[in-house]
Amino acid sequence: MATTNLSAYDFDGVPDGSKMRVAIIVSEWNRNVTERLLEGAVETLQRHGVAADNIKVYRVPGSFELTFGAQQAAKYGDVDAVIILGCVIRGETPHFEYVCQGVTEGITRLNATQDIPVIFGLLTTENMAQAEDRAGGKLGNKGDECAVTAIKLFDFICILKK
């Protein structure tokens, strides 16, 4: 289990994102966590040059719907990257495994079939405390990490297209 801030990164190592357009698909389920992930992602994108007008936020009911939202944003959103943000907390039924596996496989499939990166920002935790630790708590903010990943992959694509 992680015990340090996972969102610490070298600001100088993040490329300029000023030419980027990003869609963020956010699950409404566990909103107290997903909204903090969203805040982290938006703040980090803007810190690295992405204009507020170039960040489009779309909400879906739950984490399972993140794949569909990401697919639609990649297809119709006129964006350079898609970030999905959600939170699934283990319960007493196998629902946790089905949702986590479904979203993981769906996002993996999108990354293999789309021409833009789809960044995986789904927290899969045992309890709410673990989720809060990863949504701006003592272990950082996964939203920050997803934003940095989106910028770096956009830059990677730009380098390949030169």
* Active site positions, annotated: 95
Q: In whole angstroms, what separates CA 17 from the centre of its chain? A: 16
In sign, the C-alpha dihedral spanning 121, 125, 127, 132 is: negative
As a whole number of angstroms, the distance between CA 140 and CA 6 comes to: 5
- How far is residue 69 from each of residues 80, 85, 95, 126, measured CA to CA in Å? 15, 11, 20, 25
Record the tokens describing residue 40, joined without a space.
Answer: 């982290």
Record the tokens describing residue 133, joined without a space.
Answer: 């630790």
Residue with tokens 């803007």: 46
Q: In whole angstroms, what separates CA 110 from the centre of its chain? A: 14
